[in-house]
Structure 1
Amino acid sequence: MRGDDYHRLPTESSSTLNLHNNNTSTNNNNNNTHDNNLPLNPPTYFEFDNDDDADDDNSLNNNNDHNNRHHHQHNALHESTSTPSIEQFEIEEPEFERRHGFINRASAISHKFANNINSRIIHPVTRIIDPIYEGYKYLQMQYEKSILKLGNPLVVKRLLYVLIMMILIFGISKYSENDSINGGGSTTFSKGKFYDIEKLSSSINQFINPKSMKENLEYFSSIPHLTGTKGDLLFAKYIEKYMKSNGLHSVDINEFQSFINYPTTNTYLKLKDGSFEAKLNEQNSQEMQYSSFNPNALSTIDEIEGNYIYVNYGREEDFANLQNNNINLEDKIVLIKYGGDIPESNKLFYAQNYKVKAIIFISPKFNDQDDIIQRENVGLTRFSSGDILTPGWSSENGYVTRLSWDKSETTPKIPSIPISWKDGSKLIEKLQNGHKFDDYVSGDGQSPILQLNINNINKPVHPLWNVVGSIEGREQGDKGIIIGSSRDSTCYGTMSSNTGTVAFLELIKVFTSLQRKFQWVPSRSIFFVSFDATEYNLAGSTEWIENRKEALRKDGYLYIDMSDLVTGDELYINSHPFLRESIKTSLQKVKIEGDKTMADLVHDIKDEFLDFKNYIPFINLVNIPSLEIKFRGLKYPKNSCFDNFKNFENLNLDKSMLKHSQLVELLSKIILDFAELPLIPYNFIDLANQLIQYENDLEKFTQSITQNLKVKPIIHFDGLKRALMTLKDVGEKYNEWAHEWKQFIVQSGGLEPPMYSAMRGMWNNNMIDFNNRFLTKELTTKRSGYKNFLFGIPFSAPINSNEFVWISFPYVRDYLQQHDFSSAQLEIDNLASTIEDAAIKFLTL
């Protein structure tokens, strides 16, 4: 481990950084300032040359000689010796001519030349033009006589002028041909679009370069980039340069401050009798990225010791089973496996309620490797994502109010550390008696004594970096799509972050290439954001949102998440109901082999959004409809140094980068629709139908909660059902208007009157305002990171359960799980009122 891996880094400084490219890789082999962590010869990567920064160091040296020159002026009367021509006037200076004979001769020659031009060219041309002019005068006279016969000459002339201009404009728009996709032409607008989206869409493939993505993936996987370290800043600078080189606007490294912790070699876990000591690093390396720790974990002040107990996956029912078997958990160190169906941070929350002293997380095996150590966040995301010391407000300014550790709802209150399966299984095998979990017993509290010391280095205020660039919209530029990719990793991050990052960069290249080739500008803006600190409680995305919350609520209408993009063969789509129609249409346009399209790979579009991803703050803080599309299905050593390029190749996940290319093409088509279609392609009928299904699911969930109660509460859903039918009716009325608008555009030959244009803009505004109405107006809530009461995550929602639709009506489900049935009924009534009110106001223009 090197001590300078986590010191505060200046964002703007580049003295310690080496951004690799084709032109410098050879020269860097002998560069004495090169960082030993970075590869000397990274693979080549695609970028545009940018010579804008070349400086011209030449300067002009003006040395003037100051000589004393005396000029004598003589005043004399000049008498003209010739009569000047009437057509030519000259101002002569006789004295000047006498003293400057050369200039005088030059003047005479120029006069002679001018006279020759006049006599040999101008006069003959005039003689030719005169008859033509006479003919023009005759025709003009006949034209005036004709106009007088028709009526008022002024009115008739204006009408004829308008007619001629209309014919001219029609001819230009109809017969002009070039590579640009014209926004005003009738051939495009008559289809109900501003630009020919089909032509744009069909050109996407020519800009996708699998070789470039493969080279970037290998390069990114060659350098560890733990949040807030040199490797992390290196990639932030790399992405900034890539964005600028490809022509994005307003490119910026957005620095913010957050709590960060890093591991040290002073941490240990061993049995007091000396028979066991855990190996708290991977691959026998003492480098920081190989060391064991949990992001956002609490350290121990002094060494702690105690008996240990195995608690399976650490679910609430696992703790309850031990308590029911009279196994005391107070002041015990507990062993808990990673995985299961709840976040690791929830496991700490349940454990601290049972007064557990510390938690040892056991990493799973990967194939036959049992020495893998996973590093998982333990900040309590289900209360609030983001910086754990500023829950609910932005930490972008380094001087904002920060809570002490014990006052924050998102900090863990007991220490934790991960170990490998190899070491964890040795400890479990020493346990006897107790409750049986699968093939292992919990122990009865009479185990050997464990000694634990966790000595992480804590940085309460540490710089982190989001990288932001945009393509500005031409018509509704304030409205925007956000495409987000997690950049940081706990080690090399090949599959967890890099697969998404390389496709993210390829998307940038696709859209800027479309701009250059077709002189295209989208109707609404597209924002590309590389998020830092994803592994630290989603700090990068959350702090970015919290610093611009009102603007995002007003103008954001789609978020696309690009994390762990390719980790298997199963095409998985997680989508808000608003987006499904556009997704299905785009799936049918991406061919995979023969007549098959990507639509043949999809069995069902999910609506889960429960995993540890950057879509969590977008949904729960600002209610922006979100989308996640990826290939998944294979287990991989996530958040471990075994998540590297070598294992990516050995798993044969995507050696040809075909899956990456297909996803880039599919996402590009979806983004085109949402950025360019005149009306944002939300489908309100799909939303209403889906919410009706969610309401049925909520009734079933209520029955499952109340079925074993002695006194069953009565919960009424009639008001909610009526509100959803109102929403469906409103959706049908909107569809009728959208159909009429498109028909009018077709019939008018592509002309949109200002009134229709204004109405279309108001419909788009109302769509976004509809989303905003489901965010609570309460300043304080039980969970500060969860403001959305239509879609969101209940605190105890399982991650991998298909039993219920957990993402819907989260406030109601929370109250039902707490058996607070009166509050649940109030929340159902509030939902019904809000849905009906939002539906009615959506129709108000």
Structure 2
Amino acid sequence: MHNNYQRLESSSRSLGSSSMHLPASPPQYDDIDDDSNIQSTVHESSSSSSSSAAAAAGGGGGGGGVYMEQFEIEDPAGIVQQSLLNRAQTASKKFANNIQTRIIHPISKMIDPIYEGYKFLQMQYEKSILKIGNPLVIKRLLYVLIMMLIVFGMSKYNTNDSVNGVSVGALSRGKFYDMEKLSNTIGRIIDAKSMKEHLEYFSSIPHISGSKGDIALARYIEQYMKNNGLHNVEINEFQSFINYPNKQETFLRLADGSFNANLYEKHNENMEYLAYNPNALNTVDTISSKFLYLHYGTTKDYENLKQQGIDPKGKIILIKYGGDVPEPNKIHLAETYGVKAVVFITPKFESMQGDVIQRENVGLTRMAPGDILTPGWSSEGGYVTRLSWDKSETTPKIPSIPISWNDGEALIQKLNMGFKFEDGFSSGDGNSPDLQLKVSNIDRPVHPIWNVVGSIDGREQGDKGIIIGMQRDSTCYGTIGTNTGIAVFLEMIKVFTSLQRRYQWTPSRSIYFASFDATEYNLAGSTEWIENQKQSLRKDGYLYVDISDLISGDDLHINMHPFLFKSVFKALFQVKAGDKTLLSLVERNKAENNFLEMKNYIPFINLVNIPSLEIKYKGRPYPRNSCYDNFQNFEESNIDKQMLKHAQMVELLSRIVFDFAESPLIPYDFKNLGNMLFSYVHDLEKYTETIIAPLTVKPIMHFDRLERAVKVLMDVGAKFHKWSEQWDEYLNQNGGLEPPVYSRTRWAWNDNMVDFNARFLIREVQPKRSGYRNMLFGMPFDASTTGGGEFEWNTFPFVRGYLSKQDFSSAQNEINRLAFAIEDAARNFLNLV
């Protein structure tokens, strides 16, 4: 069998090499470039140019040499040389005479009276100074006075469109930029047409991770960063498990021949249109079994079957994408019930054909994000330890494949017995026709993925950093799923570099722009990047902004850490949406701390506890990870034809990032954190009551120590807030100048804010879930993907995890440990200053 997926070279130097064997498709187009051809062409051109230059100079045996020899034979040397010398002497004398009479002489006549006047005034000046006092002292005083007047005039009457402040160097301490003027400029820089062009371009190339389309867009982003002046731009290569759909030996059919699933969207047999799940397990032989329908495949759905006396063990089950349980957890749950294989049914999209096939990651993200064969450690380099498939807790142990709604409905219609679900379909009673399944994806255990990272270095606390991250890869074209975010990401790069050029501005702290690969493969790109430098991120990272499916509807939705409340709502008030502000579009219940989807914010929150932010327009269902998520359908859906929502997102996110990059004090809202933690503790008590209520023997849980710890944090937050008000008042009274002692205290507060976050990371060498170390925020294994609207699932994950297992002793120990961590972090925050 021909294989288009040979192992790629690990060295980053091989990115442009003609020896690189990337997947031949998608897409099917000519090689992006061929360095060997380019080098050959350049070599030939330079050789040709060198030969021509040598010929023109009369060297070598070319035509130029012959020409010079003929010239010497045809002209007697003595006559020519004598004639030329005479002409040259005559011409030079004439030229010198003209300069003397026409230029030098008239200028001297003009200068002489001026010089005489200058000498007269100087004499009067000297006489006047002698009358006043010591000439040396008087001259110095006059010089100082004149310089002061010049400086005053330049600062007061400067017509250049600039801002106050100094960009770099020691003199920048205690001097700050006009933040309001800078931030108000952002909206005028944004170019909607440019974003539309980027959206269309990135949507023209299928870009599965590790494919030619993927590296083509990575190079484009790299060059865009360099062209716009970002620093330290580089492509970071990692190796990760990647699998690709195989055109041969993959099928789903009934044994009697009455049904054969169409596994290609639009009947197109190119690789990107074929059904598969990233990180899915292959089958060795064809699986043949009875099949059942289990709605969304939740624990409740299995219990409903059990009540009907229907056993799913040894069966192939059909379940729908979506609901409150993530797809990898559905696979994990099916394993525990002894299911043979899972067939995912794509939702029905009314405006599209029924052959839409979504492709979703089935690596167990809730156990550990990242490369499924290196859970908990970096996969950088070709010689790291990699687990076998059966040893990794992140890999699915049963095969799966997605199908379209039409094919899923056709199979369900053959089941008319068993439990009837709320959608009207029946589960079947286990006596269905035999369903045959074979999955033969092409596996690449060590395959290159590429992150692209560039930065704007900070001038004052350059070690502190904001990370703006976006998903680049897609299982097909990814117009809404990835490219709406890419368009905004690139425009934000242009916004910040334009501010640099226009105002000679450099942010107080560094801003990093990161394009992450392999997001659809269990968040491999972002997780491996973090695992490779988690120590520095824990010490220096203080904000992560996630940009992915940014524009998919009309409802403005916000996920944010409680620290970000003040800055986010200030920016919402400043950005216009027609004749209103974006603040008017935010309902109270849409501003949440609900980071539960499979997004790149997961490793930032759960591995290094960097406060994260996600703002986007959502509300309309779209065919995520399907080839129907393309530019044509984006235009026809009229979600944002004029790119107005994109422009609003650029301005809103840029204002927030600017606030965190330039504010002298990192604008963490400690007051809001304390208030929200207090409400989260009450939410935890409520969740505990729902777990305990059905039990006959009811354990007693104690939360008083945790409540006291939160009150200590609230008191510390109030003291910090008071100091920041005093600092701000002092600067206002002293014209914005900050003395060194205040600078040192302010830097200490900023350092303590980042240290505060790091204190909630557990230190166990081998935690039960290697991708989850945050005690304060993060997701429990069984958390609802939608948040459910009932509980704050993204808070106190370890406590909630023990409670869901009814391990009350461990839950109480975790509550006590959490109380100690909060109080310790609060007191250290105050004492370190």
Q: TM-score, normalised by structure 2?
A: 0.86
Point out where structure 1 has 5 or more consecutive residues left out of the alignment. 18-32, 42-53, 66-100, 148-152
2:168 is the counterpart of 1:181: no
Moved more, 318-327 or 397-406: 318-327
The one of 622, 644, 649 aligned to 1:663: 649
Match of residue 350 from structure 1: 333
2:787 is the counterpart of 1:805: no
Structure 2 vs 1, CA of residues 467 and 489 (structure 1 numbering), >3 Å: closer, same or farther? same
2:419 is the counterpart of 1:435: yes
1:299 Cα deviation after fit: 0.2
CA distances 1:159-190 after superposition (whole Å, capped 9, x unpaired) = 999888767655543443422222159xxx99
1:589-738 aligned at under 5 Å gives the runs: 589-594=574-579, 596-604=580-588, 605-738=591-724
Match of residue 400 from structure 1: 384
1:435 Cα deviation after fit: 2.2
Structure 2 vs 1, CA of residues 712 and 162 (structure 1 numbering), >3 Å: closer, same or farther? farther
1:455 Cα deviation after fit: 0.7
Rounded Cα–Cα distance in structure 2 between residues aligned with 1:263 and 1:363:
17
Structure 2 vs 1, CA of residues 5 and 661 (structure 1 numbering), >3 Å: closer, same or farther? farther
SS at match of 1:233: helix
Rounded Cα–Cα distance in structure 1 between residues aligned with 2:762 and 2:638:
46
The one of 385, 395, 419 aligned to 2:369: 385
Rounded Cα–Cα distance in structure 2 between residues aligned with 1:142 and 1:841:
67
SS at match of 1:656: coil
1:36 Cα deviation after fit: 7.4
Match of residue 74 from structure 1: none
The one of 495, 507, 515 aligned to 2:480: 495
Match of residue 767 from structure 1: 753
Moved more, 216-225 or 427-436: 427-436
2:292 is the counterpart of 1:309: yes
Match of residue 95 from structure 1: none
- 2:26 and 2:206 in contact (8 A); partners too: no
Structure 2 vs 1, CA of residues 211 and 7 (structure 1 numbering), >3 Å: closer, same or farther? farther
Match of residue 277 from structure 2: 294
Match of residue 359 from structure 2: 375
Match of residue 828 from structure 1: 815
Match of residue 207 from structure 1: 189
Rounded Cα–Cα distance in structure 2 between residues aligned with 1:307 and 1:446:
7
1:249 Cα deviation after fit: 1.5
The one of 528, 548, 556 aligned to 1:543: 528
% same residue: 58
1:370-519 aligned at under 5 Å gives the runs: 370-438=354-422, 439-519=424-504
Q: Which amino acid aligns with 2:431?
A: Q
- 1:360 and 1:419 in contact (8 A); partners too: yes
SS at match of 1:702: helix
CA distances 1:12-63 after superposition (whole Å, capped 9, x unpaired) = 544779xxxxxxxxxxxxxxx999735999xxxxxxxxxxxx9999778799
Structure 2 vs 1, CA of residues 666 and 136 (structure 1 numbering), >3 Å: closer, same or farther? same
CA distances 1:524-543 after superposition (whole Å, capped 9, x unpaired) = 11111111111100111111
The one of 216, 222, 227 aligned to 2:204: 222
Rounded Cα–Cα distance in structure 2 between residues aligned with 1:809 and 1:181:
44
Match of residue 302 from structure 2: 319
SS at match of 2:681: helix
Structure 2 vs 1, CA of residues 768 and 158 (structure 1 numbering), >3 Å: closer, same or farther? farther
- 1:2 and 1:288 in contact (8 A); partners too: no
Match of residue 36 from structure 2: none
SS at match of 2:4: helix
Structure 2 vs 1, CA of residues 593 and 129 (structure 1 numbering), >3 Å: closer, same or farther? closer
- 2:27 and 2:213 in contact (8 A); partners too: no
1:52-131 aligned at under 5 Å gives the runs: none
Rounded Cα–Cα distance in structure 2 between residues aligned with 1:763 and 1:578:
15
- 2:25 and 2:212 in contact (8 A); partners too: no
Rounded Cα–Cα distance in structure 1 between residues aligned with 2:376 and 2:742:
41
Q: Which amino acid aligns with 2:413?
A: E
Match of residue 238 from structure 2: 256
Match of residue 8 from structure 1: 8
Structure 2 vs 1, CA of residues 246 and 769 (structure 1 numbering), >3 Å: closer, same or farther? same
2:263 is the counterpart of 1:280: yes
Rounded Cα–Cα distance in structure 2 between residues aligned with 1:36 and 1:611:
29
Rounded Cα–Cα distance in structure 2 between residues aligned with 1:796 and 1:752:
50
Rounded Cα–Cα distance in structure 1 between residues aligned with 2:113 and 2:253:
110
CA distances 1:777-830 after superposition (whole Å, capped 9, x unpaired) = 111111000010100000000112111000010010001111111111111111
SS at match of 1:387: coil
Q: Which amino acid aligns with 2:262?
A: K
Rounded Cα–Cα distance in structure 2 between residues aligned with 1:592 and 1:615:
27
Match of residue 751 from structure 1: 737
Q: How many residues align?
A: 770
1:738 Cα deviation after fit: 0.9
- 2:26 and 2:213 in contact (8 A); partners too: no
Q: Which amino acid aligns with 2:503?
A: F
SS at match of 1:468: strand
* Root-mean-square deviation (Å): 3.5
Moved more, 156-165 or 506-515: 156-165
Match of residue 70 from structure 2: none
1:363 Cα deviation after fit: 1.1
Structure 2 vs 1, CA of residues 146 and 497 (structure 1 numbering), >3 Å: closer, same or farther? closer
- 1:6 and 1:228 in contact (8 A); partners too: no
Point out where structure 2 has 5 or more consecutive residues left out of the alignment. 33-44, 61-88
- 1:2 and 1:287 in contact (8 A); partners too: no
CA distances 1:134-179 after superposition (whole Å, capped 9, x unpaired) = 55655555555699xxxxx9xx999999888767655543443422
Match of residue 794 from structure 1: 780
1:436 Cα deviation after fit: 2.2
Moved more, 778-787 or 468-477: 468-477
Rounded Cα–Cα distance in structure 1 between residues aligned with 2:607 and 2:139:
62
SS at match of 1:812: helix
